[in-house]
Amino acid sequence: MHVPDGFIDAPVSAATGVFAAAAVAVSLRGARRELGASGPYAGPGGPGERTAPLAGLVAAFIFAVQMLNFPVAAGTSGHLLGGALAAILVGPYTGVLCVSVVLLMQAVLFADGGLTALGVNITDMAVVTTVVAYGIFRGLVKALPRGRRSVTAAAFAAAAVSVPAAAAAFTGLYALGGTTDVPIGTVFAAMTGVHVLIGLGEAAITALTVGAVLAVRPDLVYGARGLARPLALRTSPLAGPAEGARAREPAGGPEPEPETAPAGTPRPGARRSTRRVWLAGVAAALVCAGGVSYYASASPDGLEKVARDQGLDAKAEEHAAKDSPLADYSVRDVADQRISGGLAGVIGVGATLAAGTGVFLVVRRRRHAAADAAAAPRHTPESA
């Protein structure tokens, strides 16, 4: 659903650029909280503390899977948008940043999505999908029974709805600043119709990925935090009622029962390395982008197909980076199509991983600096 230059006029493109910049700024502040977490998950070694490198990995993984177009109808394909996946794995604010990094890399390096339309694409594919998906996800998680299956089911539903929501948002932007004279009802029906089908593919990818991470490291799934149950303190069956009561109640009086995370989650403050998860994620991204992408559907995606059929692309403009050595996800001067596309995918994964990880490490470092400044003793004339 990458919108090219020329689909939306300059005033609306500029306005969405301002909105996208504001959304990224808000997300940078929100990501500082998500990268530190709170409650029983805060502190060194906690899941929030380990989110920064994993957020970069999520961005790289989304980039890689977006290269895997899957057929959804005759002559039409779809690909992952990634807003739901990112929000559930690393949090909604961090998720907006993940998808924004992906879109920036695609526009600058691969001439995918217009440069003047970057604000449109961030608004539509990063902000709308993340907000809609995470809102639905949180509502379903609260309503469903606690457990991994509920988290996975909620992820599926949230992702499925987020894609047609993005299609509807594009229709709204087109109604405000479309450059061709096509009835809005026609655009809405065509966009939402095909993207409902694409949403099912998005939902399957999201649910499978979230379920896989839950099975291995549930403590690393942002959307699964807070699903804790009260910890029941067991005493010896030989202890009498009074002795058992004394064992449960400390000298200072009763304490509130602590909460524990879902099974498989370490105790607060306990350190568990994320190296294996990170390496496995990088390997999966490289395999998808460097090898599996060769077998992706060559059919146009939902927006491209609708644009061709309805004439939305009548005033489309050539991409400013069309002469990039990686344009169209191929390496210039490499004759073999499979090798060219694979190398481009590997380069894209590496660039997105580096950019994403760098952004989130800086955000986390700034959070630590702010926390240290707040904790430092203040010197006043009275105390001097």
Question: Over the stretch 277-323, which tens digit does the pLDDT of each residue have?
Answer: 999 999 999 999 999 999 999 999 999 999 999 999 999 999 999 99
> 274 falls in which pLDDT band (50, 70, 90)?
confident
Residue 184 lies in a domain: yes
Residue 340 lies in a domain: yes
Residue 382 lies in a domain: no
CB neighbour class for 241 (10 Å; exposed up to 12, middle 13-18, buried from 19): exposed
The whole domain housing 341 covers 10-37+46-229+275-373
Q: How far apart, in whole angstroms, are the C-alpha atoms of residue 180 and residue 236?
A: 77
- Among 110-119, 237-246, 290-299, where is mean pLDDT lowest? 237-246
The average confidence (pLDDT) of the chain is 86
Which tens digits make up the pLDDT trace of 152-176? Answer: 999 999 999 999 999 999 999 999 9
- Judge contact between 80 and 66, C-beta under 8 A: yes
Mean pLDDT of 105-113: 97
> 89 falls in which pLDDT band (50, 70, 90)?
very high
> 33 falls in which pLDDT band (50, 70, 90)?
confident
pLDDT of the residue at 332: 94
pLDDT of the residue at 382: 52
- 298: domain CATH number? 1.10.1760.20
pLDDT at 107 over 90: yes
30: closest CA among 369, 366, 373? Answer: 366
Q: How far apart, in whole angstroms, are the C-alpha atoms of residue 51 and residue 37?
A: 9
Residue 264 lies in a domain: no
Mean pLDDT of 61-78: 95
- Judge contact between 329 and 66, C-beta under 8 A: no
Which tens digits make up the pLDDT trace of 49-69? Answer: 556 678 999 999 999 999 999
> 246 falls in which pLDDT band (50, 70, 90)?
very low
- Judge contact between 115 and 124, C-beta under 8 A: no
pLDDT of the residue at 35: 79
pLDDT of the residue at 252: 44
Q: How far apart, in whole angstroms, are the C-alpha atoms of residue 220 and residue 36?
A: 13
SS3 label, residue 361: helix
pTM: 0.85
Residue 83 lies in a domain: yes
How many Å is the Cα radius of gyration of the chain? 24
Mean pLDDT of 44-52: 55
pLDDT of the residue at 258: 42
pLDDT of the residue at 337: 94
pLDDT of the residue at 364: 80
Express as a percent the part of the chain with pLDDT over 70: 79
pLDDT of the residue at 74: 83
Phi and psi torsions of 272, nearest 5°? -130, 130
Residue 267 lies in a domain: no
Domain count, the chain: 1
Residue 239 lies in a domain: no
> 367 falls in which pLDDT band (50, 70, 90)?
low
Mean pLDDT of 321-344: 95
Q: How far apart, in whole angstroms, are the C-alpha atoms of residue 194 and residue 86?
A: 23
pLDDT of the residue at 249: 45
Residue 159 lies in a domain: yes
pLDDT of the residue at 269: 45
